[in-house]
């Protein structure tokens, strides 16, 4: 699989995309938190923000946004933080984040059933 590496990226690009910020409040998003757009992009909006809102018309995980935007996961989290703070997205956190350390036996059973039916 061929893809660009951040190492070969125009060095200014990631800096510009995040406005120079280097870290998100990581606790705000899990790699599989589902992002749901709450509005359409508006003119003048930063293009990455606009693309996220288009992709998040249906729930979409943080890692999927990362793959589609070709930006590292932590850069996407910074962009999502902006959208969350301005109410443009809502987040559905995974149960492993909201109830850490516990796997619900009912959940495991659902996974088994679904895998058998694959």
Partner 1 sequence: MHSTTSDLVGADRLAPPSAVDALKIVIVGGFGVGKTTMVGAVSEIRPLSTEEIMTEASVGVDDIGRVREKATTTVAFDFGRITLNAGTMLYLFGAPGQQRFWFIWDQLFAGSLGAVVLVDTRRLADCFYSIDRLEHHRMPFVVAVNRFAEGPGLPAVREALDLAPEVPLIDCDARRRESCKQVLITLVEHLAHLNTFAREDIA
Least Å from the CB of residue 60 to partner 1: 6
Sequence-distant (≥ 6) Cβ neighbours of residue 42 within 8 angstroms = 50
What angle in degrees, to the nearest 10, is found between the helix axes of 62-69 and 47-55?
130
How many other CB atoms are found less than 10 A from the CB of residue 8?
7
Least Å from the CB of residue 63 to partner 1: 6
Give 20 or 105: the residue with its C-beta nearer to partner 1.
105
Give 44 or 98: the residue with its C-beta nearer to partner 1.
98
Phi, psi of 65 (to 5 degrees): -60, -45
Residues pairing with 34 in the sheet: 61, 92
Residues in contact with partner 1 by the rule CB under 8 A:
1, 3, 5-7, 23, 26, 30-34, 51, 54-55, 57-61, 63-64, 66-68, 70, 72-75, 92, 94-97, 100, 103, 105, 107-112, 114-116, 118
Least Å from the CB of residue 88 to partner 1: 17
Q: What is the dihedral of CA 66, 67, 69, 73, to 10 degrees?
A: 20
Least Å from the CB of residue 86 to partner 1: 21
Give 8 or 44: the residue with its C-beta nearer to partner 1.
8
């Amino acid at each position: 699989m061929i893809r660009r590496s951040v190492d070969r990226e125009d060095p200014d690009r990631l800096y510009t995309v995040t406005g120079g910020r280097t870290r998100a409040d990581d606790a705000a998003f899990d790699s599989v938190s589902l992002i749901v757009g709450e509005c359409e992009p508006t003119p003048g909006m930063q293009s990455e923000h606009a693309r996220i809102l288009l992709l998040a018309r249906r729930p979409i995980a943080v890692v999927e946004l990362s793959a589609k935007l070709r930006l590292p996961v932590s850069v996407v989290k910074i962009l999502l933080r902006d959208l969350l703070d301005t109410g443009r997205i809502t987040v559905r956190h995974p149960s492993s984040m909201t109830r850490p350390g516990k796997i619900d036996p009912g959940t495991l059973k659902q996974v088994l059933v679904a895998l058998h039916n694959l």
